[in-house]
């Protein structure tokens, strides 16, 4: 299979619904249960869609199915086509497709709960699913989410971002260490320590410090939980956005404001191209909630 041909001849609505269910569930068995079909029927329907498009949409090499790059690009188009059909035959019918919002570690910080509650009240017809995925784009480029809350610069091709707000940075230090006695810290206070860096979904690198005043060593981890564990064990210190203090408390870690570190931009990211129809409403609501806090 190479690239999808332009005609899509023979593609039916049932093919699209089966593909979208598999894309959402990441598993043929769960997709079949959601559609009220047998697993073999869903597998055959998905295979038929790929054959008619002339492209592989789903990578079946692992137990948890993942979309191929072509599948990721096709998913948004298929979702829009199904939504348009449903609206045409049953105007005003609530769309069953949830809006999946990814994040790597802190979501929207203090705005997360107000967002979820307000969205449920205003948009009950479109479930908002918050998914934590340890990945630099929180699953966005893999097609696991429709949009993602990201922090720091994002230079991934095909990803469009909008700045929602900025947040200060904090130092995370061992609760029983000498730095915990300070009410606030500066970057220079951390240079004598090893710095714990989350290289998968974190935003901090040694470039945060001036070239001639960088920490003595770095310890790399792959997720937020390991980052916290290393800091609590006294293996190093960490730097993160201020929302981490509220969303990831740890008995062995204290957070202190980092006075001279530049603020961290918080972004809403989406793939360039067709998007979930409720995404503009989500962006507007986030901006509204941020404004409430600043009023």
Weakest mean pLDDT among 25-29, 148-152, 243-247: 25-29
Q: What's the whole-number average pLDDT of the chain?
A: 88
> Tens digit of pLDDT for each residue in 178-213?
999 999 999 999 999 999 999 988 999 999 999 999
Domain chopping of the chain, boundaries: 13-89, 99-166+265-294, 169-262
What is the rounded average pLDDT of the residues 226-233? 97
In the prediction, which pLDDT does 55 show? 92
Q: Is residue 6 over pLDDT 50?
A: no
13-89, CATH topology level: Arc Repressor Mutant, subunit A (1.10.10)
In the prediction, which pLDDT does 2 show? 45
> Tens digit of pLDDT for each residue in 160-169?
999 999 999 9
In the prediction, which pLDDT does 95 show? 53
Provide the pLDDT confidence category of residue 4 given band limits of 50, 70 and 90. very low
> Tens digit of pLDDT for each residue in 44-98?
999 999 999 999 999 886 566 888 888 888 887 888 788 777 767 766 555 557 8
Q: Is residue 13 over pLDDT 70?
A: yes
Q: 32 Cβ partners below 8 Å, 6+ apart?
A: 21, 38, 39, 41, 42
Of all residues in the chain, the percent with pLDDT exceeding 70 is: 92
Q: Which CATH class is domain 99-166+265-294?
A: alpha beta
In the prediction, which pLDDT does 76 show? 78
Weakest mean pLDDT among 146-155, 167-176, 273-282: 273-282
What is the rounded average pLDDT of the residues 116-143? 90
Write down the CATH number for the domain with range 169-262: 3.40.190.10
What is the rounded average pLDDT of the residues 115-132? 93
SS (H, E, C) the chain: CCCCCCCCCCCCHHHHHHHHHHHHHCCHHHHHHHHCCCHHHHHHHHHHHHHHHCCCCEECCCCCCEECHHHHHHHHHHHHHHHHHHHHHCCCCCCCCCEEEEECCCCCHHHHHHHHHHHHHHCCCCCEEEEECCCCCCCCCCCCCCEEEEECCCCCCCEEEEEEEEECEEEEEECCCHHHHCCCECHHHHCCCEEEEECCCCCCCHHHCCCCCCCCEEEEECCHHHHHHHHHCCCCEEEEECHHHHHCCECCEEEEEECCCCCEEEEEEEECCCCCCCHHHHHHHHHHHHHHHHC
Does 169-262 match 99-166+265-294 at the fold level? yes
In the prediction, which pLDDT does 62 show? 59
Q: What predicted TM-score, i.e. pTM, was given to this entire model?
A: 0.73
């Amino acid at each position: 299979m190479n690239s999808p041909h332009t005609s899509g001849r023979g593609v039916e609505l049932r093919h699209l619904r089966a593909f979208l269910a598999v894309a959402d569930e990441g598993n043929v068995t769960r997709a079949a249960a959601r559609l009220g079909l047998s697993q073999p029927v869903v597998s055959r329907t998905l295979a038929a869609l790929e054959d008619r498009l002339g492209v592989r949409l789903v990578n079946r090499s692992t137990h948890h199915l993942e979309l191929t790059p072509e599948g990721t690009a096709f998913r948004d188009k298929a979702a829009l086509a199904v939504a348009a059909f449903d609206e045409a035959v049953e105007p005003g019918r609530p769309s069953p497709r949830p809006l999946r919002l990814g994040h790597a570690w802190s979501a929207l910080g203090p705005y997360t709960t107000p967002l979820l509650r307000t969205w449920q009240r205003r948009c009950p017809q479109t479930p908002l699913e918050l998914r934590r995925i340890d990945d630099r784009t929180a699953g966005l480029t893999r097609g696991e989410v429709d949009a993602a809350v990201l922090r720091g610069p994002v230079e991934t091709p095909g990803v469009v971002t909008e700045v929602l707000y900025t947040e200060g940075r904090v130092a995370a230090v061992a609760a029983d260490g000498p730095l915990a006695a300070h009410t606030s810290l500066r970057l220079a206070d951390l240079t004598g320590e090893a710095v714990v860096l989350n290289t998968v979904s974190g935003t901090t690198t040694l470039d945060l410090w001036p070239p001639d005043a960088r920490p003595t060593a770095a310890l790399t981890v792959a997720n937020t939980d390991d980052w916290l564990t290393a800091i609590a064990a006294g293996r190093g210190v960490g730097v993160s956005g201020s929302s981490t203090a509220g969303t990831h408390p740890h008995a062995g870690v204290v957070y202190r404001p980092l006075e001279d570190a530049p603020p961290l931009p918080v972004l809403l990211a989406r793939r360039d191209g067709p998007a979930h129809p409720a995404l503009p409403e989500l962006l507007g609501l986030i901006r509204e909630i941020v404004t409430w806090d600043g009023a």
